[in-house]
Amino acid sequence: MVCWHVKPIAAALYQMSVSWGKFMAAGRGAKGIWKETRQGKGNETKEPLRYQRDKAEKDMENNRDDLAWEEVEVEHIVQDEWIDFRRSAYRLPDGAVFEPYYSYSRRDYVVIVASDCEGNYLCVRQFRQGIREVTAEFPAGGVERSDGKEYGAGGQRGVAEEELAAAQRELLEETGYSSREWAHLLTIPSNATIADNYAHIFVAKNCRRVGGQNLDETEFLNVELHTAQEIEELIRTGGFQQAVHVMAWLLAKENNSL
């Protein structure tokens, strides 16, 4: 799993946080505009507010497809082999245009809830730049691509490797373990609000050690074995801090895949 190229992204992520604050402020402003419209101006005939609210709720129920935002302008602030970081303008469902809205493209990735023949779970411990902490998590990594980019639409056969193959490769590279018992649990957007990549969740059982680690030049991680109870405690006490990985654990439990 190749780490993010942190330097060109840091400033862009700061701009994203500023944009989100502006978006929330715009939302509060929009409420004020909506209130003025409901009350009417001058000698306009004013409909009862309850009627307008009921009508709006009915219209929303009947026109859920009209909730989509339309991108009307886009600027690629950073677009290299690592990330496509965009500043967009969107036309909202009511016709108003909001900007700026920041989003980005990264490659899809896999997360593996892996257990050995004794029922212990394979975890890795490594530094995460976002929270600036060393944390435990499951083996995971990006779906490799042949076009030299770190992002792009998932499922591009001939460009991106198969997700199962990526999961098997990442487990072997990060831990030295392999398995013949695999199950796909879920494919879900990684962060549907600001990113377009997907996480592919797998379970691997009866893993056996077949070799050593084969890490990338920016990977520094240790392999740990944990019981189910220990993972539950790590999650509870904040020592297992990857949200999608916690979801993978809970999903595996729900599906009796552990």
Over the stretch 190-238, which tens digit does the pLDDT of each residue have? 999 999 999 999 999 999 999 999 998 888 999 999 999 999 999 999 9
Predicted confidence at residue 32, as pLDDT, reads 34
Note whether 67 and 153 are same-domain residues: no
Predicted confidence at residue 44, as pLDDT, reads 44
Q: Of the candidates 105, 138, 154, which is a domain's last residue?
A: 105
Contact 134, 124 (CB under 8 A): no
Q: What is the mean pLDDT of residues 21-50?
A: 42
Predicted confidence at residue 12, as pLDDT, reads 52
Residue 56 has pLDDT above 90, yes or no: no
Of 98, 96, 97, 93, the residue nearest 59 (C-alpha): 93
Residue 127 has pLDDT above 50, yes or no: yes
Note whether 119 and 244 are same-domain residues: yes
Average pLDDT of the chain? 82
Predicted confidence at residue 82, as pLDDT, reads 86
Note whether 195 and 151 are same-domain residues: yes
The one-letter code for the residue type at 14 is Y
Predicted confidence at residue 151, as pLDDT, reads 78
Note whether 250 and 133 are same-domain residues: yes
Predicted confidence at residue 84, as pLDDT, reads 94
Residue 1 has pLDDT above 60, yes or no: no
What is the secondary structure of 199-222 as a DSSP string?
A: EEEEEEEEEEE-S-----TT---E
211 part of a folded domain: yes
Residue 34 has pLDDT above 90, yes or no: no
How far is the C-alpha of 194 from the C-alpha of 83, rounded, in Å?
Answer: 13
Report percent pLDDT > 70 for the chain: 72
Q: Of the candidates 40, 70, 105, which is a domain's last residue?
A: 105
Domain assignment of residue 224, given as a range: 109-254
Note whether 49 and 92 are same-domain residues: yes
Residue 117: count other Cβ atoms within 10 Å of its Cβ. 11
Predicted confidence at residue 148, as pLDDT, reads 73
Tokens of 13: 């992520």
1 part of a folded domain: no
Per-residue pLDDT tens over the stretch 152-194:
655 555 688 999 999 999 999 999 999 999 999 999 999 999 9
Q: What is the mean pLDDT of residues 231-248?
A: 97
The one-letter code for the residue type at 133 is E
Residue 124: count other Cβ atoms within 10 Å of its Cβ. 19
Note whether 42 and 95 are same-domain residues: yes
12 part of a folded domain: yes
Number of domain units in the chain: 2
With vertex at residue 101, the alpha carbon angle to CA 86 and CA 186, rounded to the nearest 5 degrees, is: 75
- Bridge-based pairing of strands 84-91 and 97-105 is antiparallel
109 has which bridge partners? 142, 199
Length reported for the chain: 258
Q: Per 3-state DSSP, what percentage of the chain is helix, strand, and coil (rounded to 5)?
A: 35, 30, 35
Question: Phi, psi (5° rounding) for residue 168?
Answer: -65, -40
Note whether 100 and 113 are same-domain residues: no
* Contacts for 198 with CB less than 8 Å, ≥ 6 apart: 108, 154, 187, 188, 189, 190
52 part of a folded domain: yes
99 part of a folded domain: yes
Note whether 40 and 157 are same-domain residues: no
Predicted confidence at residue 149, as pLDDT, reads 75
Note whether 162 and 214 are same-domain residues: yes
